[in-house]
Amino acid sequence: MKILILTGRFGMGHLKAAEAIKEELTFCHRKDGQKFDIEIIDWLEYLMPHHAKYIYNGYSSLIRRNTIFYNLHYKSSENRPITQKPNLVGYVRMNQLIYEKQPDFIISVLASASKAVAYYKALSGSSIPLITCVTDITGHSEWINKYTDAYAVGSEEVRRSFIQKGVPETEIYITGIPVRRRFHTENHEKTPVSEKMPVSEKMPASEKMPASEKMPASGKTAGFSRPKILLMGGGLGLLPKRLDFYQKLNNLVPAEMTLITGKNEKMFQKLYGRFENIEVLGYVQDIEKYFLRSDLVITKPGGITTFEAIYTETPILALNPTMRQEKYNAEFIEIHEIGKKLILKNDQADAKHIACLIRNRAQITHYKRQMRRMRHDLASCTFTTIINELTASLPLGGALHNEIFSFNF
């Protein structure tokens, strides 16, 4: 069975989701003997190979500098009526892609790619099944298309929103937002927070360890381990810019902290080596290791990041949610009691707030328990489940009918 996964690189979330789906299906192939031939395609690069990088760079620049215009567009289209808008260029390129790859299934983690597939199906009459994976914890109308066969959504809230917008309940599956298997805590050991001794107050300057005697990476010293905090701003490294904020964290928060700046090279150069209690790293490939060893992650609340935290049972402090979907994600975090949000206002007060939270073992433990329950609830529905159900519902006992239409323009 040939499966095509369509993605994009607006940030890193869509690509991460695509890789996670491919990994799940590959694992199920090895485990159950199902034969999946899976290929990930960057839809924007395929659609506009000479312009895609400029569009991606423009998006990154817009998000870094000002989210006002993005949020205005997002809000204006949030509850827009579901229509199939003509897109001749998208149709021609999608026709070419399907003719080249001849997929039996298409999974899209990008709203614009889902629209292109749906429009292709509408014009061509193709019955290739389309699964749309929603990578935000919000029921935005941009994800909904008439010719989508199934929706994989992150939460019950998104499911209800889609039903209100006319999507049949039978087409919606709550899978969570997919993350790589290496984030799943059942594959690792995570030290319970109850086994970590809280640190009451910041050590006086006279008692600080010299740099040559810094605590080892395991965090063990004098028979106990200090709490660990991970700070990150996603793949784009969207972090607070004020040096005073990090100075206050270094001085007031009783924890070992790791700050990952991602692809924000300027921030890395600005902060690297400045603080005794904050390890500063750039872009890392094995981010799951830092989640798994941490008691709290302070981060921009992207959809993928939120579910990486859930699967590693790392409570979230959602930092300055500015993009509209981030605000929905932060609400989700607080409603489900897996963390809280923090709007930065005063460096000293914010650092004290973080210090208070990391000292509160009961609260951190409660967040972890809620994450564990959520993770267990999501375990029953996978992309393999969706594919099997759709295959069984196809004509002739589940045989796939892959109509390929070749047109000359």
pLDDT digits (tens, 9 = 90+) for 223-263: 457 899 999 976 555 678 888 999 999 998 899 999 998 88
Instruction: Specify whether 152 is located in the same domain as 188.
Output: no
Lowest mean pLDDT among 213-217, 335-339, 368-372: 213-217
Range of the domain at 299: 182-376
My answer on whether 372 and 320 are in the same domain is yes
In a domain, residue 403? The reply is no
Asked if residue 303 and residue 223 are part of one domain, the reply reads yes
Over residues 176-191, the pLDDT tens digits come to: 999 999 998 665 566 5
Task: Answer yes or no: is 405 within a domain.
Answer: no
Residue 89 has pLDDT above 90, yes or no: no
Tally of domains within the chain? 2
Same domain for 203 and 76, yes or no, is no
Give the CA distances from residue 76 to residues 72, 81, 243, 324, in Å, rounded to whole numbers and listed in that order: 6, 11, 36, 11
Give the pLDDT band of residue 405 (cuts 50, 70, 90): very low
Residue 377: HSE in the Cβ half-sphere, 13 Å Cα cutoff: 14
d(CA 172, CA 15): 22
At 207 the pLDDT is 34
Assign 275 a pLDDT band (cuts: 50, 70, 90): very high
Task: Flag whether 276 is in a domain.
Answer: yes
Asked if 38 and 3 touch (Cβ cutoff 8 Å), the reply is: yes
The answer to whether residue 404 sits within a structural domain is: no
Q: Are 269 and 356 members of one domain?
A: yes
Q: Which two tokens stand for residue 380?
A: 């029953």
Does some domain include residue 28?
yes
Output the average pLDDT for the chain: 83
Q: What phi and psi, each to the nearest 5 degrees, are found at residue 152?
A: -100, 115
